[in-house]
């Protein structure tokens, strides 16, 4: 009985965290990841151009071209999806879960910085491929990045449970 009660409280806590993080429109992700994204993009662009960072989200290149990093660029919803996948998966010990979340966030942050940097280089070059490349990154690859990170971590951390499904199965089994 104690194990069952522990699993229920763990389940409630995991989903309560997901709801609390989402309620204020994911502001926490934007608060944390806007500077963590903007500054490295600025530093990378500053290697090739005379760059300035304005208002923590606009990179001005050669005092002529501005690149605004809007919320969609920061991809707060992608971080939230990674958090959902993690917290909706039962049976992960606390320390392992923290490591799992931290690694997934760091990998996505690195990929996102690289994505923005590459798109910025394409935009500055005046390439006619910017629009299509941006759309491909936005509509297709952003989801692929999140799913790839999730699957890589599931394999690396040897996770056997399935997000949501394992919790539903547990609840169903214990309500009969």
Report whether pLDDT(6) > 80. no
Report whether pLDDT(115) > 50. yes
Report whether pLDDT(57) > 90. no
Long-range contacts of 79-85 (CB under 8 A, 24+ apart): 79/29, 79/33, 79/105, 79/108, 80/21, 80/22, 80/26, 80/29, 81/146, 82/108, 82/146, 82/149, 82/150, 83/18, 83/21, 84/18, 84/163, 85/150, 85/163
- Residue 72's pLDDT band, with cuts at 50, 70 and 90, is confident
Residue that is written with structure tokens 């490591």 in the block = 99
| Arithmetic mean of pLDDT, 85-104 | 93
- The rounded percent of the chain whose pLDDT value lies above 90 is 56
pLDDT of residue 1: 44
Q: How far is CA 130 from CA 62, 71, 120, 158, in A?
A: 19, 19, 9, 39
What predicted TM-score, i.e. pTM, was given to this entire model? 0.89
| Arithmetic mean of pLDDT, 34-56 | 93
- Mean pLDDT (the chain, rounded): 89
| Arithmetic mean of pLDDT, 114-122 | 92
Q: Which of 79-88, 108-117, 144-153, 167-176 has the lowest mean pLDDT?
A: 167-176
């Amino acid at each position: 009985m104690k194990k069952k009660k522990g699993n229920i409280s763990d389940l409630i806590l995991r989903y309560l965290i997901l709801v609390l993080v989402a309620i204020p429109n994911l502001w926490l992700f934007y608060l944390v990841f806007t500077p963590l994204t903007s500054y490295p993009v600025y530093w990378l662009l500053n290697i090739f151009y005379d760059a300035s960072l304005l208002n923590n989200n606009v990179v001005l290149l050669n005092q002529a071209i501005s690149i605004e990093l809007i919320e969609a660029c920061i991809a707060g919803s992608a971080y939230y999806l990674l958090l959902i996948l993690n917290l909706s998966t039962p049976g992960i010990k606390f320390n392992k879960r923290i490591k799992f979340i931290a690694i997934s966030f760091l990998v996505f942050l690195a990929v996102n910085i690289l994505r923005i940097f590459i798109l910025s280089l394409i935009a500055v070059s005046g390439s006619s491929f910017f629009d299509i490349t941006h759309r491909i990154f936005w509509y297709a690859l952003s989801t692929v990045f999140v799913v790839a990170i999730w699957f890589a971590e599931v394999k690396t951390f040897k996770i056997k449970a399935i997000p949501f499904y394992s919790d539903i199965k547990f609840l169903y089994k214990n309500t009969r």
